[in-house]
Structure 1
Amino acid sequence: MLRYALTRLALLALGLVAASAIIFVSLRVLPGDVAQVIAGTSGSPEQVAAIREGLGLDRPLTAQYLDWASGIVTGDLGTSYLTGTPVSAELADKAAVTVPLGAMSLAVALAMALPFGVISALRRRSWGGQAIGFAAQGLAAVPVVWAGMMLVAVFAVALGWLPAQGFPTRTGWSTPWQAFESLILPAVTIGVVEGAVLLRFVRSATLQAVGADFVRAAAAKGLTKTGALLRHGLPSVGLSVVTVLGLQIAGIIVGAVVIEQVFNLPGIGRMLVADVGARDLEKVQGELLALTGFVLVTGFIVDLVHRAVDPRQREEAR
């Protein structure tokens, strides 16, 4: 297990290095000039050149990348060209919205996928099980923007139960109910769409577990099919869920970037879109690296958990 963890850790480090290089180079080939943005439309070529020199943008790309990469090692993601504030500080501030939103979305997805996925598999020949499977297929194809608009129309506009947009930026989580309330609709929007995708994996894993020899043997000894599955088959279903959980978390992050625009939430996704438009490359590359790093670290943790709890992989390692 230790050898496997060290190997995966080395791959994680290589992945982060590759991601940082790709992000840095990709942003440099985009059109536009942050120096021109700072100088404004009336800025002369001399002023733009002076700004570029002051920001270090006139140096070779290799030198710029090495400076940025060396700062990453110490936790310094750079400084915004436009505001002059550290990127790490702004990420930490916006994470107070994005991280709870992602956690709530994951909770909604799991609460939806696990029970209904198992029920749809056990009742696959009944109208109820078929209805669940059909609904999951439909919800998985729904664009997250459209789902958010529909939920706003029903629960915010028609019923008035929840706020349609915004977040208490002045008070933040010091007013926990207001903060939590503002994230309910965005979290449900992401969670339902991602949960529909996860439900199909749970259903497939449950069907495989029901047909497994050890579940059939338990049922032959007097347990009902449901009882045999709950007692002996759920661990294998859990392993399947863990396997795809990394992909689901990545989907939740992508959904958060979009949903923060729809619900006007001051999170990392909304900040990223604004910084791309402003050509604040230093912030954008720090934000992209932080999101990419989170996805890679999540995959690393999921792989370790899967390796630790899957007896088949432990036997193969021996």
Structure 2
Amino acid sequence: MIRFLATRLVLLLVGLLIASALIFFTLRVLPGDVAQVIAGTQSTPEQVAAIREQLGLDVPLPVQYLDWVGGILRGDLGSSLITRTPVAEELAEKAAVTVPLALLSLVIALLIAVPFGVLAALRRNTASGTAFAVTAQALAAVPVVWAGMMLVIVFAVWLGWLPPQGFPRSGWDDPAAAIRSLILPALTIGVVEGAVLLRFVRSATLEAIGQDYVRTAAATGLTRRRALITHGLPNVALSVVSVLALQVAGLLVGAVIVEQLFTLPGVGRMLVSDVGNRDLEKVQGAVFLFTAIVLVIGALVDVLARVLDPRQRETT
């Protein structure tokens, strides 16, 4: 197990290093110049060059990359090229919206996927089981933007239960208002991601039902449902845990879109704005943070799967 943990840690660090290089140098290929944005359209080439020198943009790219990576190792993501405020400070402020949105979306997705996925497998030859499977297939194909618009029309326009857009200016000082403003965005992401995950849960449950140990448990007097819950669901949990890393990536991508749709002041909305302003320090900081979260969660999922599955531990 120790060898596995050491190997997984090395792979994680290598992945983060490769990701940082791809993010940094790919962003430099994009057209535009932040120095020109800051100087304005009426600026002279000399003024633009002075701003580039002031911001350190005249330094060779490999040197800029090494400086950025060195800052990350010290916990410093740099400063915004436009506002000159620390990137980590702005990300922390925006994450106060994005992180609760992602967590609430994940909870909704699991509440949809796990019970209904198991139920769809148990009733696979019935009308209700088929309805669950077909509905999940349809919802998984629904674009996030369209799903959000439909939810706004139903719950905000027709019923008037929830606010259609925005986030309270007081932020989390008013928890009730903040949570109400996140419900529709979280439902938008959670319903679509939950439908995707439901199909994996159903497939894993069907596979577990067909295993010998479940049939043996049923032969000893347990009902099929009790045998599945007692002996099959731990193996279903392994499959669900393995898919969660991919789901987190989907949640983060969905958050970027949903924050634009619902005008939430989160990391995703900030990222889209900074791409337009060519504020590369903030963009690369936000993208690297998203990438690091996905890679770290993927590593934790691998470790958790190894802990839950004795067969994997026996191979080390």
Q: TM-score range by the shorter chain?
A: over 0.9
Is the aligned partner of 1:151 residue 2:151?
Answer: yes
CA drift at 1:132: 0.3
Deviation at 1:8, TM superposition (A): 0.6
Give the corresponding residue for 2:95: 95
Deviations 1:85-109 (A, max 9, x none): 0000000000000000000000000
Work out whether 1:189 is the aligned partner of 2:188.
yes
Unaligned runs of 5+ in 2: none
Q: For 2:262 and 2:226, locate their aligned partners in 1 and report how far apart those are by CA, in whole Å.
A: 43
Displacement after TM superposition at 1:167 (Å):
0.5
Q: Deviations over 1:247-269 (max 9, x none)?
A: 00110000001000000000000
| CA deviation string 1:154-204 (max 9, x = no partner) | 0001110000000013x1111111000000000011000000010000000
- Within 1, Cα distance between the matches of 2:315 and 2:80? 49
Q: Does 1:232 align with 2:231?
A: yes
- Superposed CA deviations along residues 214-272 of structure 1, whole A, max 9, x for unmatched, are 10001111111111101111100101100101000110000001000000000000000
Secondary structure of 2:78's counterpart equals coil
**What is the letter of the counterpart of residue 261 of structure 1?**
Q
> After TM superposition, which residue ranges in structure 1, 4 or more long, deviate above 6 angstroms?
none
1:3 Cα deviation after fit? 1.1
Cα-to-partner distance string for 1:274-313 (whole Å, 9 max, x where unaligned): 0000000111111111111111111011111011111110
RMSD between aligned residues: 0.6
| Whole-angstrom distance in 1 between the partners of 2:251 and 2:294 | 10
Paired with 1:14 and 1:137, the residues of 2 have a C-alpha distance of: 37
Structure 2 equivalent of residue 299 of structure 1: 298
Give the TM-score normalised by structure 2.
0.99
Counterpart position of 2:284: 285
Length, aligned pairs only: 316
Other structure's SS at 2:314 match: helix
Q: Which runs of 5+ in 1 are unaligned?
A: none
1:112 is aligned to 2:128: no
| C-alpha distance in structure 2 between counterparts of 1:297 and 1:129, whole Å | 36
Q: Are 2:17 and 1:17 equivalent residues in the alignment? A: yes
CA drift of 1:316 comes to 1.8
Identity %: 67
The one-letter code sitting in structure 1 at the alignment partner of 2:273 is: A
Determine the C-alpha separation between the residues in 2 that align with 1:291 and 1:208: 33
Aligned: 1:253 with 2:252: yes
Specify the SS of the correspondent of 1:316.
coil
1:209 alignment partner in structure 2: 208
Q: Name the SS for the 1:80 alignment partner.
A: coil
> In the alignment, which residue of structure 2 is the partner of 1:33?
33
Once residues 310 and 66 of structure 2 are traced to their aligned partners in structure 1, the CA distance between those partners, rounded to angstroms, is 43
Q: Within 2, Cα distance between the matches of 1:5 and 1:266?
A: 37
Aligned position for 2:266: 267
